[in-house]
Structure 1
Amino acid sequence: MNGIKKENRFIIHWFFSLVLFGFLLAFSLSFEIYKKFPVFGFIGYGLVILNLLWALSQAIKPWHFIAISLFLVLFGTLGSLDIVLSKDEMLETLLLLNHEWLLLSGLNAQTLDDYVNVLVLLLNVFTSALAGSALFYGLNRRNFEKQ
């Protein structure tokens, strides 16, 4: 990617994250993979957010930072919603495993609910803090006066 301009690299990564989100959404809904593997959405959102972070490292114009911050908030919210909605399926899947270590860990519906709440809180804090920083940098005109 050395021959590609930095602005074009941003557009490639940003567009790829949107296409990846659309593909994962269509794949998940058409094959109903979320019923058999509830963590699929969490992995998918992780990949999309990781690609947005890669695009953020290539951002050079104010609208790049604004677009990244908007999509970080959007995908962070959708990822949190997906985690909360698949909480019951995760518990059922863990209980079907019936491993001895699972029984010894004392994992039940209440502790899983607590873990899910912590996970959602961490995801929202991470994506919103990063989106806020990117938005602040993108809206600060002094960062772009040299261009």
Structure 2
Amino acid sequence: MAPLPSVCKINIDGSRINFSGLIGIGGLLRDSCGSWIKGFSVNLGYGSIIEAGLWGLNMAWDASFHMVEIECDATFAVALLKSLIVSTHPLFSIINYCKMKIHEDWCCFVKHIFHEQNCAADALAAKSYDFGPRFHVFLEAPAFLNAMLAVDV
């Protein structure tokens, strides 16, 4: 579902290779018409899905969007961002940083969506393993996402 006018929609997802434990994240930013703004893939080596949210938040902030809707299919990540986290939690630092970014001078909403609604972000997360340990930005939608973007609005 498309967001309201003037709202930037961020879809994020994580990927994990079970036998190695390596993780990657991917995400994309689109405007209220569903038009591509930019996307990203990051091979983190080892890390957490929460980091995908942080990358997406930073990209939206840097692009000067003041109304942001974040969609993620990881129920636990959405719950962590919406609940009180104690300082002894192993991901406290990054969760707290994400929460601080969410409460900056903008309107930011985080919501859970089903995996089937997040195919493009999932594909970007899976693609992250092709790039080595670096942050890769897609200023234009890559061709491998075309079919997914058509149904993933």
| Same fold at TM > 0.5 | no
TM-score by length of 2: 0.32
The structure with the larger Rg is 1
Would you tell me which structure has more helix in proportion to its own residues?
A: 1
TM-score by length of 1: 0.33
Would you tell me which structure has more strand in proportion to its own residues?
A: 2
